[in-house]
Amino acid sequence: MKISIIALSFLLLASIAYSQDQPPQTQTQPAQVQPQQPQTPQKAMPNHITSGFYLKLGASFPMGNFTNNQTFTYKDNTNTQRSLSFNHGKFGGVMEMGFLIYLGPSFAHNHLRAGLDATFFTVSFNPADSVVPSGTSASKKMEYWYYFGGQKFGPLLTISPIDYLMIDLSYKINATAAWHASMWGMNLAMNEVSLGIRYRVMLFAFQYNWGKVEYTYNQEPNPKEKVSVDTFRVLIGFKF
């Protein structure tokens, strides 16, 4: 009996000692998954690149050979060699009216748009020196100026970096009629590159025009001479 009691006592002490040696059990909490926030799509800028009418006024500066006198020789009906001189052009003026026509929608989040730059009416002039008697009227001297008129058409790309700011890049073919010292001239394929900067209705434009106009001398045998009439133009105006 004593042996049984002693054995039970040893078993009880052993179980108590074993339970004290075990680390406390902790309950593991499952990791919480954070819900993903929906991504907001990038908002496109409002489309401010729209078609419209424009009017420009500005200055015309002769460039290249147009800043020099250009002399040509020809033979008349008696086979005598003669010369024909075109005096150099000077600072003049220019006026343009046209329409920006955009084809299709804007792209690149409304930052770019392509179209057509149609200048349906343009006139310009460049004064020139003339050898006339003293006391000649101003209107008579103006007969020796260079006058140009015509139309221009070509592709257009407009860039809108911010808000209502526009940058217009264009290349145009010019159909040009000209008049100088009672001589008519023409070129149906002159060239122009243009950079325009607009903000709302105000605009500034820089143009380089190049090409030659073929003038017909109004005396027999009516020789035709091609005269360089390159110009650089600076204009201001409005686009509606």
Of 149, 98, 148, 100, the C-alpha closest to 119 is 98
pLDDT score recorded for residue 23: 54
Q: Does domain 53-239 sit in CATH 2.40.160?
A: yes
Q: CA 123, CA 133: separation in Å to the nearest integer?
A: 29
Residues 6+ apart with CB under 8 A from 77: 220, 221
Domain layout of the chain by residue ranges: 53-239
pLDDT score recorded for residue 16: 52
Q: How many CB atoms lie within 10 A of CB 89?
A: 27
Residues 6+ apart with CB under 8 A from 34: none
pTM: 0.78
pLDDT score recorded for residue 51: 96
Tokens (6 digits) for 146: 């260079």
Place of tokens 């009516």: 222
Element (H, E) at 218: none
One pLDDT digit (tens) per residue for the chain, 240 residues: 445 555 545 555 555 545 555 555 555 555 565 666 666 555 667 888 999 999 999 999 999 999 999 999 888 888 888 888 999 999 999 999 999 999 989 888 999 999 999 999 999 999 998 766 667 777 788 888 999 999 999 999 999 999 899 999 999 999 999 999 889 999 999 999 999 999 999 999 999 999 999 999 877 788 899 999 999 999 999 999
